[in-house]
Structure 1
């Protein structure tokens, strides 16, 4: 079933990086009150990460929290944005990742290792992996697929539009890496939380978590929904044709 045109994932400005960014901003600005739960979920639930690292002087309790809570919540937030783009979001979508916890964890670990290996190989392979498989998590939560099928589905959905995804995914990476943060964990060996209260630290932290990342999540959700509809169209047409052929081959009813 194709997405109706009167929701953010509808046709909009088309399928290109700039079109997704522009439509993503309209999505973010126009539906901001409804997006608040998804916007706040990860930043608020990430607070214990810093507390645990500071309290125990080790990153391992923080990693345990991220594994147990943040990974499934991020999967649920992805589903929330997808369904919001279709006009059908629900608060319980944010917690959906817990119902597919082991697959969400497996996909995150495998994809992270693939990205790490790709970026270690002169960066370009990492970029290609990111563009091809970035919608794997979306396919996991949207279509409830096995982990291996998520990678294959993402590759099929993004086929022919991977360079178009570069502005959206590239901005996500740049903001994650270079945006200032109010909270500094220090070294991995001896983590210690310090708060930075400079204007640019506070402003950058707020803009990253409450404007830029949500906006880009909206753009990515729109891109996923539109590219999925495009990828599904030949399959639906083939299924319809097969049904018509079967009807044509049915023998006439006896009088």
Structure 2
């Protein structure tokens, strides 16, 4: 006899044998812990059963309580052997672990790992390069186009701001004159730097968010690049804090500076990925990089060597392809560290 019931989290219809009643496991569609209900005839006759009533959906499922480790039920009745799930949007069957429904294009999960759950993990440099190459090949047009567009926007914006700042500086000098002329250019230079960094952060965050969505298989539109305006204020704050921390680290000697730089490096990714308050991005960055500092250092060295060698061998022309690859590798490293 089989028990048929629905997951209380995603409403997926599941089946298992009646000897698994009262046991717990994780739903194959949403990954949430669920409890197999008692058969109706047994539940009606056994009013003293209290195990199911005390089930906490947030508590972890221990190995001894999960029927995943027990002997399997019949293949035709068990939901553990299913190779497909139903799309929650259109109902079409899709492969377990799929990121998108092929029928309607609905995004099913943020990643193919553990139901898309965001959680720190130790990554492998080999896995980063392998995954980067696959994503790079599959999305070559977007991967090459995003950095090119970002660089073009930054160059045009910085050039225009520079011209306006120069004209404004000349006007102020002519108005003030004398010994006060150099001081008059200080606020102009300060405003110029703020605006130029604003453009830099805008295209940086937009590019990171676009690349992150590509890595997660979400097929983003190009307009994602222009959606990071709300993060600019927090990015300025984080950039200043990161600069101070790194500077203090290097004052203590080179190695502490490298450690601090690597420890908080993912703050900008975390900012656009999780939309956290600026300061919380640093606390999350420490969690993400825990156990990954050596791998991050090795990855940075390898990417630097690839960039230098590629530039020398191709006389700089290859940077058109190498720089997007290094940016993608950094994005994949972040995705691997956060289990995405």
TM-score higher than 0.5: yes
Q: TM-score, normalised by structure 1?
A: 0.67
Return closer, same or farther for 1:65/1:15 CA change in 2, 3 Å cut-off. same
2:198 maps to what in 1? Answer: 68
Structure 2 unaligned spans of 5+ = 1-29, 32-96, 101-110, 114-121, 170-184
Q: Is the 8 A contact 1:85 1:222 kept in 2?
A: yes
Structure 2 residue 301 is the aligned partner of structure 1 residue 223: no
1:149 maps to what in 2? Answer: 280
Return closer, same or farther for 1:117/1:97 CA change in 2, 3 Å cut-off. farther
Structure 2 residue 242 is the aligned partner of structure 1 residue 114: no
Q: What value does the CA root-mean-square deviation take over the aligned residues?
A: 3.7
- Corresponding residue SS for 2:315: helix
Q: TM-score, normalised by structure 2?
A: 0.51
1:203 maps to what in 2? Answer: 315
The higher-RCO structure (CA 8 Å, 6+ apart) is: 1
Cα distance in structure 1, aligned partners of 2:248 and 2:325: 28
Counterpart mapping for 1:120-131 below 5 A: 120-131=251-262
1:62 deviation in Å? Answer: 5.5
What is the count of residue pairs matched by the alignment?
207
Counterpart mapping for 1:36-47 below 5 A: 36-47=144-155
1:91 deviation in Å? Answer: 1.7
Q: Is the 8 A contact 1:77 1:94 kept in 2?
A: yes
1:124 deviation in Å? Answer: 0.9
1:86 deviation in Å? Answer: 0.5
1:214 deviation in Å? Answer: 1.4
Q: Is the 8 A contact 1:85 1:221 kept in 2?
A: yes
Return closer, same or farther for 1:80/1:23 CA change in 2, 3 Å cut-off. same
Structure 2 residue 322 is the aligned partner of structure 1 residue 212: yes
1:212 deviation in Å? Answer: 2.5
Q: Is the 8 A contact 2:144 2:321 kept in 1?
A: no
Structure 1 unaligned spans of 5+ = 182-199, 231-255
Q: Which one has the bigger helix percentage? A: 1
Structure index of larger Rg: 2
